[in-house]
Structure 1
């Protein structure tokens, strides 16, 4: 481990100088483009991405660069929660629909914010143990007078859009396995389409279609093959199985379709983004290699039958958590003087793809962030040209960009047909991938096959500072025809909100510094901002009522970066109440002041454990607890900080919660099937050690 840490220190020092691969073009020449399938009901926002094309572009033009500084709050609604809010609101018939933590649905008057109804699907909160990335969801779908939502515990529920009365409720997953749903359903031809999450926990991914009238399942397409002895569901699965090795099905395989979809009604094709492998480490999952279809792929299906049509794999043999579940956009671009129907994606792997959406042919690809796992994408084969050292499964540790957070995460990007630009919320978050030499598969738990100690932020103060300098976030305006940047805005944190662009020439994005900001679409000039009191990770929308244009966005700091790293890399955002905020020109409403309770930091028990015990406790913590309670046991405030917990006072008190689930109704599940009393003792020793002289204490001393 010492050798690995020495490697990390050297690598972190070299990091910034070695990866300057993207620079802004000072002479932008935006392409001509046309929107081929946007929502024609410009007064509303009735579909998740604004329309089937998922462009997140509003044709409304009342708000412009010249008057946006007169934008003000029209109203705000308190969602009553303080966890991550990632939902895209929908607006239909003068009503705005938004979701909060644990899938609660609210229907509000879109002009005044008055509550029409609310619906609680009564999610089993013990399923919080199966969530990689906070108790979040990304919103609802609307069709034929129904609001349809997917729940964290794997259900699809329809309610009456006027009353909130439940109409049907169906289970879409095997609830004995660690499946979850965090994505928003899509509606195509009278069908609600939904995927699921849980790849890191060892599940087999799929996407399913349900009749919106009664919840009957109509078809299911698996994204990775199962056990060959059981036969294959279709020819696509049989073909995919040829690209896998070993006994992958024992690990689930992964490939969960947990977020993005798009639909082309002219071609009648549904596009599904597919996730990472399970475990990440391909040398464990598929020893001997192989492309491992359809991991990290865009898959085109017939929406009426689920029939496979074509696929494009962004990362063959995925081994870095490089999902292709990131936002996909349909557009028509002028390429080499010829109009082309394309699908565009900036997945986690750091390359921006322009693909013919009828055939799956690669038209172009170029890195939109610094990348050091592949030199480029081969234009003939469509495959990345990998740097051999990056395939870390059986080799030395490798410091890499992008890391598992990706160059672009779930936060939606936006395409503006007028400017021809795609606006991408990008990240630079380095990560050291290293083989977990002591890996053993734990059913239903976090299984990456990567050494979690290497992925943790370093305890050494100088090393920590070097890594922190390399962690960045920005808003990037990208020309998809010329495949290059036009302008960019640097942020203080990598974890910032989704994007909206408008025909008025304005781009809106919320950020980790608790502000909603408006920029000029052509050059990125900052025009206006509003302090939201808590971070914004959700994307804004726009709609029109009685001749007035509104901008709406949900606020609520959270998500995986905020939970895992937010305590050590805080933005100018405190955890606060989640809200839906709606703005208009001349708005003069005010947000209510948040009452901030002071954090109680009682004196922890003295640390008496030896270094070996503490190290064992850290290993258990990183494998079971870090995704909620924070790296180095330092919480961002979304979840109580364990270092100051009264449960540390006695081993028995901690066992009652960790093993027996005394707080399961509040989202803290029981780990009795996974941990022993001895394990809880090791965890307690590590947490007490961190409370007494951990990394945060070193940072405080330096201040």
Structure 2
């Protein structure tokens, strides 16, 4: 581990007079750096607390609504850039920063955490956990993290390689570390990309890796010592092994009968890689679970059973981790759908009665309102116009009514929503004044077909979807053309009581980021147009927008220091691929901080436009291209986009130099310093040649149209 201490943290702890500005009361004096505790978290709008952003979703309810209103719809036009920090990466930076009593804590790629004076941007310390560069490949979606946690003088890091690390908030020195999972074959292909949460002294962390073949679980640790308190598995293991001896044992008795075959050979999936919430009054932790492993239901569970607790919300006792209730959004999960999208708690008046609810808009395109005490489904309606998965949710059974042909068979078909999601991990917000939930919605279909179970083979640390990606290429091409034509993205304001759209802002493409709501009637979002935009929360009217040469996919935060309100956001493009988006010419990722009337700080000029390189002529036989298509889908599509469109780097438009070095890059990791670790342990020279042939074919198919729109 490496620590750099560059400032005196005590000098940065001049407490924010946020409450004085907001409520007229004097601020509460904190007891030291990152002095977060249960009392403060239960009163986040109280004097001395409202200045801060102390947890990932602001409060344990994850509403991302700040009571600060110094910046508001009447003066937001005066917003200017106060300071920024270049994060020195071209990868996606997805983290939500934290601010506690005048200090801003931020996380970049590979879990590097930096503390700043939140008013000036002075760097106080940096902690680098030295995550191995190979984890850019071993994790499904690259080396990004969505955030950190703070509690009682410590900052908590869920490292990509599975370590949960507590560092001293004053110095950045490591206090303790524990390994949350065992890495290694056959079923140890886990990773951590989600933000840890601390609930009344318990650090709760999940993991990812269902695409690679793991059994999902969530663990709680003592925030002071790192001692494990409880563990909850989200899917059953091998029945022959008997009970796990963990908090989830009673729940596995419910789940086990819903599985068939030998699912445990491939883990089963169900990883809880991002979504959590906590109700301290009910003493419940809510866990959002992910997709199946393999993706194809016919292979994973012989096409039988609901497969609990895939794509579900599971409520567990915060102290013991024991099961309390569940609601499954996607029984018979077959589409790489996840319910790991943000969840939020609120009290809503429904049918003349106040209900304590939990809300979620997961991948499948339905917005769910559920009683958070009992798990009763209160309402569910689709929030996207395209939904070839289910026509509606049966309110008597709580089950989706699947569209004809929704399950995957041998014939390729178009699914929308797809694994690209109607709403993915990007944070959403709830404004109790407007009664609206805000989220980044999108409509992106993809082509699905299941391979024969006898043809499926498991490869460690590779996407093991079970999809057939080679059959009927002409039909696939037609379906992909339709998917691209129908692609769209928008900022959606949704009324959870009436289950209806209030307004939307349409963007030229999907890919815009998470949102922040404030008492100033503001809604803040980074856009796919490479801007930061602020809208009126009640109407969607554009109030302010600034070009920033980047696409911020993370959620913004707001805070106060010495009576001055700031807005901060990580701006670093990296998320789901976008079909029709020309290659983005982004600047490096940056942490951007704004305040009213800030002047004198400007961003460096953006990079110069570069013409698309002409691809070489396709000389490979069709069989090699077809094999390359299959290998690309299993090894490359998660980062570089389905059908080689979009992604971290659009591989259709490689330079001649990159093409000449293709085998060395793919097999031997010559670009490891940029995150592209070699796949030589999984792919052969012939495999690399086949993937390259497929990419050349795709480039030739699209060059004429793409080059006409630089």
TM-score normalised by L of structure 1: 0.88
Are 1:579 and 2:586 matched, yes or no? no
Alpha-carbon shift at residue 265 of structure 1 (Å): 0.6
Are 1:452 and 2:469 matched, yes or no? yes
Q: What is the alpha-carbon distance in structure 1 between the residues aligned to residue 470 and residue 81 of structure 2?
A: 45
Q: What is the alpha-carbon distance in structure 2 between the residues aligned to residue 37 and residue 308 of structure 1?
A: 28
Alpha-carbon shift at residue 65 of structure 1 (Å): 1.4
User: 1:622 corresponds to which residue?
Assistant: 633
Q: What is the alpha-carbon distance in structure 1 between the residues aligned to residue 479 and residue 234 of structure 2?
A: 40
Alpha-carbon shift at residue 475 of structure 1 (Å): 0.9
Q: Choose the corresponding residue for 2:123, options 115, 129, 132.
A: 115
Within a 5 Å distance, the mapping from 1:323-362 to structure 2 comes to 323-362=338-377
User: 2:443 corresponds to which residue?
Assistant: 428
Alpha-carbon shift at residue 701 of structure 1 (Å): 6.4
Q: Choose the corresponding residue for 1:215, options 205, 226, 230.
A: 226
Within a 5 Å distance, the mapping from 1:226-237 to structure 2 comes to 226-233=237-244, 234-237=249-252
Are 1:181 and 2:192 matched, yes or no? yes
Alpha-carbon shift at residue 149 of structure 1 (Å): 0.8
User: 1:492 corresponds to which residue?
Assistant: 508
* Cα pair distance change 1:347/1:577, threshold 3 Å: same
Give the stretch that moved more between structures: 615-624 or 519-528. Answer: 615-624
User: 1:477 corresponds to which residue?
Assistant: 493
**C-alpha deviations, 1:150-186, integer Å up to 9, x for none?**
1111111111111111112221111212211000000
User: 2:103 corresponds to which residue?
Assistant: 95
* Cα pair distance change 1:456/1:155, threshold 3 Å: farther
Q: Choose the corresponding residue for 1:569, options 560, 575, 581.
A: 581
Are 1:530 and 2:546 matched, yes or no? yes
Within a 5 Å distance, the mapping from 1:298-309 to structure 2 comes to 298-309=313-324
Q: What is the alpha-carbon distance in structure 1 between the residues aligned to residue 279 and residue 473 of structure 2?
A: 42
Are 1:195 and 2:210 matched, yes or no? no
Q: What is the alpha-carbon distance in structure 1 between the residues aligned to residue 330 and residue 476 of structure 2?
A: 32
Secondary structure at 1:390 match in 2 = coil
Q: Choose the corresponding residue for 1:386, options 390, 402, 410.
A: 402
Secondary structure at 2:258 match in 1 = coil
Alpha-carbon shift at residue 337 of structure 1 (Å): 1.3
Are 1:667 and 2:675 matched, yes or no? yes
* Cα pair distance change 1:455/1:111, threshold 3 Å: farther
* Cα pair distance change 1:497/1:278, threshold 3 Å: same
Q: What is the alpha-carbon distance in structure 1 between the residues aligned to residue 705 and residue 531 of structure 2?
A: 30
Q: Choose the corresponding residue for 2:149, options 141, 155, 158.
A: 141
Alpha-carbon shift at residue 395 of structure 1 (Å): 5.5
Within a 5 Å distance, the mapping from 1:205-354 to structure 2 comes to 205-233=216-244, 234-354=249-369
* Cα pair distance change 1:44/1:647, threshold 3 Å: closer
* Cα pair distance change 1:453/1:418, threshold 3 Å: farther
Give the stretch that moved more between structures: 371-380 or 677-686. Answer: 677-686
RMSD: 2.5
**C-alpha deviations, 1:193-239, integer Å up to 9, x for none?**
10000111101111001122222222110100011111122121122
**C-alpha deviations, 1:35-67, integer Å up to 9, x for none?**
997554211000110110000000111222111
Alpha-carbon shift at residue 294 of structure 1 (Å): 0.4
Please say if residues 433 and 454 of structure 1, whose CA atoms lie closer than 8 Å, have aligned partners that are also in contact.
no
Q: What is the alpha-carbon distance in structure 1 between the residues aligned to residue 472 and residue 505 of structure 2?
A: 28
Q: What is the alpha-carbon distance in structure 1 between the residues aligned to residue 341 and residue 472 of structure 2?
A: 22
Please say if residues 49 and 55 of structure 1, whose CA atoms lie closer than 8 Å, have aligned partners that are also in contact.
yes
Alpha-carbon shift at residue 374 of structure 1 (Å): 1.2
User: 1:204 corresponds to which residue?
Assistant: 215
Q: What is the alpha-carbon distance in structure 2 between the residues aligned to residue 552 and residue 75 of structure 1?
A: 10
* Cα pair distance change 1:641/1:464, threshold 3 Å: closer
Q: Choose the corresponding residue for 1:519, options 532, 535, 540.
A: 535
Are 1:150 and 2:158 matched, yes or no? yes
**C-alpha deviations, 1:508-531, integer Å up to 9, x for none?**
111111111111111111111111
Q: Choose the corresponding residue for 1:61, options 51, 54, 69.
A: 69
Please say if residues 76 and 113 of structure 1, whose CA atoms lie closer than 8 Å, have aligned partners that are also in contact.
yes
User: 2:524 corresponds to which residue?
Assistant: 508
Alpha-carbon shift at residue 276 of structure 1 (Å): 0.7
* Cα pair distance change 1:666/1:550, threshold 3 Å: closer
**C-alpha deviations, 1:46-90, integer Å up to 9, x for none?**
011011000000011122211111111111111111110111010
User: 1:696 corresponds to which residue?
Assistant: 703
Are 1:78 and 2:86 matched, yes or no? yes
* Cα pair distance change 1:423/1:654, threshold 3 Å: closer
Q: What is the alpha-carbon distance in structure 2 between the residues aligned to residue 679 and residue 167 of structure 1?
A: 45
* Cα pair distance change 1:409/1:357, threshold 3 Å: same
Are 1:410 and 2:422 matched, yes or no? no
Which segments of 5 or more consecutive residues in structure 2 lack a partner in the other structure?
Answer: 1-40
Aligned residues: 658
User: 2:35 corresponds to which residue?
Assistant: none
* Cα pair distance change 1:579/1:454, threshold 3 Å: farther
Give the stretch that moved more between structures: 356-365 or 449-458. Answer: 449-458
Alpha-carbon shift at residue 319 of structure 1 (Å): 1.0
* Cα pair distance change 1:603/1:414, threshold 3 Å: closer
* Cα pair distance change 1:507/1:661, threshold 3 Å: closer
* Cα pair distance change 1:533/1:598, threshold 3 Å: closer
Secondary structure at 1:450 match in 2 = coil
Please say if residues 209 and 269 of structure 2, whose CA atoms lie closer than 8 Å, have aligned partners that are also in contact.
yes
Within a 5 Å distance, the mapping from 1:513-662 to structure 2 comes to 513-561=529-577, 565=578, 568-570=580-582, 573-594=584-605, 596=607, 607-631=618-642, 633=644, 638=649, 643-644=654-655, 646=657, 648-649=659-660, 654-662=662-670
Alpha-carbon shift at residue 598 of structure 1 (Å): 6.6
Alpha-carbon shift at residue 569 of structure 1 (Å): 2.1
Q: What is the alpha-carbon distance in structure 1 between the residues aligned to residue 702 and residue 540 of structure 2?
A: 37
Please say if residues 246 and 286 of structure 1, whose CA atoms lie closer than 8 Å, have aligned partners that are also in contact.
yes
Secondary structure at 1:593 match in 2 = coil
Secondary structure at 1:270 match in 2 = strand
Give the stretch that moved more between structures: 637-646 or 582-591. Answer: 637-646
* Cα pair distance change 1:455/1:508, threshold 3 Å: farther
TM-score normalised by L of structure 2: 0.88
Alpha-carbon shift at residue 382 of structure 1 (Å): 1.1
Kindly indicate whether structure 1 or structure 2 has the higher relative contact order, using CA contacts under 8 Å at least 6 residues apart.
Answer: 1
User: 1:10 corresponds to which residue?
Assistant: none
Secondary structure at 2:93 match in 1 = coil
Alpha-carbon shift at residue 130 of structure 1 (Å): 2.3
Q: Choose the corresponding residue for 1:365, options 343, 364, 380.
A: 380
**C-alpha deviations, 1:618-666, integer Å up to 9, x for none?**
32222212323445556666588773253643xxx65544334444454
**C-alpha deviations, 1:552-605, integer Å up to 9, x for none?**
1110111232xxx46x5238x533211111111112243331462675977766
Please say if residues 37 and 52 of structure 1, whose CA atoms lie closer than 8 Å, have aligned partners that are also in contact.
no
